[in-house]
Structure 1
Amino acid sequence: MKNFRLLWDFMKGNRLLYLASIISIGIATIFSFLSPLVIRYTIDTVIGGNAANVPLWVINIIDSIGGAETLRQKIWLCSIAVVLLSLINGIFTYFKGKWSAVASESIAQNMKDMLYDKLQNVTYDYYVKAETGDLIQRCTSDVDTVRRFLSMQLVEVGRAIFMLIMAISIMFSLDVRMTVVSMALIPGIFLFSTLYYMKVKDSFLECDESEGKLTTVLQENLTGVRVVRAFARQQYEREKFDEINRDFRGKVTHLISLLAWYWSFSDFLSMLQTGIVVVLGVYWTVSGHMTLGTLVVFTTYEGMLLWPVRQMGRILTDMGKTSVALGRIKEILDEQLDEDEEEGLKPDIQGNIEFSHVNFKYENGKEVLHDITFKVKKGQTVAILGPTGSGKSTLMHLLHRLYDYESGSIKIDGVELRNIDKKWLREKIGIVLQEPFLYSKTIKENLKMAKEGVDEDRIYQSARIAHIHDVITSFEKGYDTLVGERGVTLSGGQKQRVAIARALIKDCPILIFDDSLSAVDTETDAAIRKALKERKKDVTTFIISHRINTLSEADLILVMEEGRITEMGKHETLVNKPGLYRRIWEIQNTKEDILTA
């Protein structure tokens, strides 16, 4: 029920439309029940000559047009009455469909907006654990499941209630004994529908989770298609997809079997109930205990009575599926936001940074950073070297407040990092990742994303510093060249340089290069670093790299091993004492000597 309380919240702003839709289907139901009564009056009174068993106000209306004798002479008027009643029924059914569709589409739009907004603001750690394919399914398939329920089934609940009340009340007024017979198996059908709902709900959850895995495999394969081709792993990928697909097919087949079993058995019970009504009704009609018109009404109403009962099974089935979808949507909406503390500070950031005895560990309890202490002055360049898993990127994540440190202190220009507004801080820090992400847009559009309203001269200047301007202008369409999804049409080095240019456009006082020069050659690497120095002297720069040539000109070099700073100093100092930095320097120098020999 908690999930459906969430649905009630989603309906805010559209509840009146649903109320109007339910009222419309109620009016349509009333007119649909009047048609069999007109047919009964025509058979029993107009044709059969029996006394009319109808309310007094109906008799007054009939008498005003000449009574039953006039209708007997102009029996086509009864046909027109049935047609008019059906027409009015159709008009209100149309309004029901229109209003429920408009409301459900509006709610689906609001849900997608809420989910997208939430995913923009959840913590960075959430995406480390989440699967992209599963998130896509929750924002599309699960939302569409809720939309279909709101559009088709929610209003049908009102219709079913109206039909049950109308059918039972009219049938009791006509013949109590026949009404009891008509309802003999209905409690059993309803009980069967309820038990079925409890069974099928788990199957819907299994199918949704399996579909999420299938979507994830497909998304990963399409994203990593170049890796698949490069290692000739197409057959492996086909087999992996086939395994997940077969599991999904098996779960869906099981679900369809449950559906087929339900509808076939409920059809049997419904037909059995109808058969009982027809057999006993014919017997009582022949024996004179009931009129032919009443038999026609009961056989017609029996179908109307059984429909909402059987429909209850479908409603409960879709309700189960919707409950599962709402639960998966709610999991996203309940995620913790990457929120700022109240009244976060917005200091003038210059770039003076101090780490003091900082420790950090992830949720799994493994400590990643141990007693990190160092100082950086405004405009200095800090280089970080270390093996994979030593904590280099995590250190920069703390500075960017993607994670918050547990103990110790990080200060920027004397202000504690935790007290600085996150959005303000991130606007002042430019970061270029090792695997830069480019959108499937033009190069110019990707660069403009860094700063709203940036002029073209600024774009060209940043591209020149990143040594990518000449490459871009050599393309047929220049800066209007489409880069393809994730920048697939550019080489690794070109993507990194476009990402560097994008970061430079922000003109931040702090720049972070997280191994983002790894895909460019050493000559271009040196040229970019030289251009950066000439561009602005007061930008504090962090460079993570495994190239000694890239690190050697830094004002401060940090060597990290197993989450600790094991060496610290300038290039000239570190190469003259034993340690990881000297070993890597010797290995890289040896390789260069071999290549130049």
Structure 2
Amino acid sequence: MKKFMELTKGSKLLYVIAILSIGVASFVAMLEPMVIKVTIDSIIGNKPLSVPVPIERLINFIGGREVLWKNLWICSIALVSLTCMRGIFLYLKGKFSAEAAENMARNIRVKLYNHIQNLPYEYYINAESGDLIQRCTSDLDTVRKFFAVEMVEIGRAFFIVIFAVLMMLSLNKKMTLISMIVVPFIFIFALMFFKSVRRNFKKADEQEGVLTSILRENLTGVRVVKAFGRESFEIQKYERENEKYRSSIFKIIKLLSSYWAISDFLCMIQIGLVLMSGIYFTVKGEMSLGALVVFNTYEGMLLWPVRQLGRILSDMGKMTVSLNRITEILEIEKEKENGKALRPKINGEICFDHVSFEYEKGKSVLQDISFKVNKGETVALVGSTGSGKSSLVHLLLRLYDYNKGSIKIDGIELRDINRKWIRNNIGIVLQEAFLYSRTIEENIKIAKLDADLSEVRTAASMAAIHDVITSFEKGYETIVGENGVNLSGGQRQRISIARTLIKNLPILIFDDSLSAVDAETDKVIRQHLNEKSKDVTTFIISHRISTVMEADKIIVLNDGKIEALGTHKELIKKEGIYKRIWEIQNSLDDYDEKEACNE
């Protein structure tokens, strides 16, 4: 109920109206059998009228029993009127409960998406995107359906049971007790069923998330699947997980079928007891024929909500699992500011002072890193895979916070600068360029939505992609497809570079983002960057010596430590990783030139 009160914020009045409507509809439904009873016993029959005073006055106003006996159509009109009234309130119930549920779903959807956007970077490293999609779509829809239908059905069941029991007690207490014999057993059975369904639905929901993850991975990596002819393997993998999902759903179906069969059996026993007992009491004269008809009608009304309780509890079990899965995300702490959250002007002077960092305690990634970068300098990071190059620039972006030491930007401690502010002042181009399924122009303008076409063209020219774009039939209006599927790797990287350059940021980071372009294009891009970056501090991560050799500083990382620091000319004179890489790449270049001459 606490979660319900939180989720229905802004829609509580709609739910109140829906519940009141179903209460009125349930009360009117109780009156319909009473009209039949009065008609059988006191109008067609000769028993004295036994109705509330307002209704008795209404009958007398019409002309009394004799008039109704001669005009039975009046009783029919009364039944039709009550049925129409019940229909109106059922409509109001459906309208307001659906509106409240849709409002609630919209609020959860927005809240969930906003929360996901503000979670720490490390959360996404371990999270399964398919499972997140499952929670934001299928789980949310399960919650919406429950609050749209079943939540109000609980109120309906409550009103019907209360009204039916009160009406039956007013007619015959013995018959009322007989009518309630099986109800506790059905109720206990429904609770047992609820626990079992909730447990099995959780397994099924998680397995559906696995299927969603496999499907997403397959669609995203379709090039790899096709290139390596892995279609059969992917199909078999999907079939295995699909079979697990089918088995988990089948368990739920078997539980449902068992519940309906047993509850139907118990209900039939209850109806049989009421019918036999009612006939016995009627024959003995303890009940009227009209009362017997009413009891049988009320018994059906009473058993329906109790029997439906199993379905309601089943859906509640699904809903609670889905709601808990959504709540798990909402309860994850957002990325928070643990400093002063300053928003200073960023010029680009950076100082690392004995910085150490580890993802897991005891597993150091960066150790005692110290260097200084002046405004406008270009710094290259070189080292083997896993040496800590990307981790170092991730610290600059405050995707992670360093464990020891100090990082200062323009003399201000990085921890004291607002996370979003520092990220808005640092442009990063990753090796794996991500593009949206939009036009090339829209992709470049993502970093600066108010940019005009001339700015887009200038950024594209600097990234050496303008001529390629204009060669396309639709030019900058070309749709790139999901994640740039219509473009080559080098083209995606250059559009990603253009997207970063359009914003004119004081600090730029190129995380191996020129790896997919040829040496000539690499050189052109670097020349443009050198022209632009006189006042821009630039970090370049690369395994290609030709890309980093013109940098003002080259930092060589090995196992999270700085092995060497200097210019290209200084480092090739020292024994170490950098000199070995340079010699290997030089020998390969010489070999390629000889092969070209021979051809």
Normalised-by-shorter TM-score class: over 0.9
Where does residue 557 of structure 1 map in the other structure? 554
Please show how residues 61-76 of structure 1 align to structure 2 within 5 Å: 61-76=58-73
Match of 1:13 among 10, 13, 27: 10
SS of 2:360's equivalent in the other structure is coil
Where does residue 334 of structure 1 map in the other structure? 331
Q: Percent of pairs identical after alignment?
A: 55
1:89 matched to 2:86: yes
Paired amino acid for 1:339: K
User: Do the aligned partners of 1:467 and 1:524 also contact (CA within 8 Å) in 2?
Assistant: yes
Aligned-residue offset at 1:342: 6.2
Where does residue 597 of structure 2 map in the other structure? none
1:277 matched to 2:295: no
1:221 matched to 2:245: no
Where does residue 512 of structure 2 map in the other structure? 515
Aligned pair count?
594
1:436 matched to 2:433: yes
Where does residue 502 of structure 1 map in the other structure? 499
Aligned-residue offset at 1:240: 0.8
Where does residue 450 of structure 1 map in the other structure? 447
User: Do the aligned partners of 1:341 and 1:421 also contact (CA within 8 Å) in 2?
Assistant: no
Paired amino acid for 2:552: D
Match of 1:465 among 462, 482, 499: 462
* Structure 1 CA distance for aligned equivalents of residues 499 and 30 of structure 2: 68
Paired amino acid for 1:213: V
Where does residue 391 of structure 1 map in the other structure? 388
Structure 1 residues 197-206 or 170-179, which shifts more?
197-206
Where does residue 159 of structure 1 map in the other structure? 156
Aligned-residue offset at 1:106: 0.7
Aligned-residue offset at 1:431: 0.3
Match of 2:108 among 107, 111, 117: 111
User: TM-score w.r.t. structure 2 length?
Assistant: 0.98
Residues 263 and 381 of structure 1, relative CA distance in 2, 3 Å threshold: same
| Shift >3 Å, 4+ stretches | none
Match of 1:361 among 335, 358, 361: 358
1:21-43 deviations in Å (ceiling 9; x for gaps): 00000001111110000001111
Where does residue 490 of structure 1 map in the other structure? 487
Paired amino acid for 1:184: I
Match of 1:234 among 219, 231, 234: 231
1:406-439 deviations in Å (ceiling 9; x for gaps): 1100011111000011111111100000001100
Match of 1:531 among 528, 533, 543: 528
* Structure 2 CA distance for aligned equivalents of residues 251 and 116 of structure 1: 29
In structure 2, the gaps of 5 or more residues are 595-599
* Structure 2 CA distance for aligned equivalents of residues 346 and 594 of structure 1: 52
* Structure 2 CA distance for aligned equivalents of residues 490 and 256 of structure 1: 47
SS of 1:378's equivalent in the other structure is coil
SS of 2:428's equivalent in the other structure is strand
User: Do the aligned partners of 2:339 and 2:416 also contact (CA within 8 Å) in 1?
Assistant: no
Where does residue 131 of structure 2 map in the other structure? 134
* Structure 2 CA distance for aligned equivalents of residues 319 and 330 of structure 1: 16
* Structure 2 CA distance for aligned equivalents of residues 7 and 410 of structure 1: 46
* Structure 1 CA distance for aligned equivalents of residues 117 and 426 of structure 2: 19
User: Do the aligned partners of 1:205 and 1:324 also contact (CA within 8 Å) in 2?
Assistant: yes
Aligned-residue offset at 1:562: 1.2
User: Do the aligned partners of 2:339 and 2:417 also contact (CA within 8 Å) in 1?
Assistant: no
User: TM-score w.r.t. structure 1 length?
Assistant: 0.98
Paired amino acid for 2:421: W
Paired amino acid for 1:88: M
User: Do the aligned partners of 1:430 and 1:508 also contact (CA within 8 Å) in 2?
Assistant: yes
* Structure 2 CA distance for aligned equivalents of residues 291 and 445 of structure 1: 80
Residues 590 and 342 of structure 1, relative CA distance in 2, 3 Å threshold: closer
Residues 342 and 571 of structure 1, relative CA distance in 2, 3 Å threshold: closer
Structure 1 residues 203-212 or 511-520, which shifts more?
203-212
Aligned-residue offset at 1:333: 0.8
* Structure 2 CA distance for aligned equivalents of residues 554 and 569 of structure 1: 9
Aligned-residue offset at 1:341: 4.0
User: Do the aligned partners of 2:339 and 2:415 also contact (CA within 8 Å) in 1?
Assistant: no
Please show how residues 45-444 of structure 1 align to structure 2 within 5 Å: 45-341=42-338, 343-363=340-360, 365-444=362-441
* Structure 1 CA distance for aligned equivalents of residues 573 and 108 of structure 2: 61
User: Do the aligned partners of 1:46 and 1:72 also contact (CA within 8 Å) in 2?
Assistant: yes
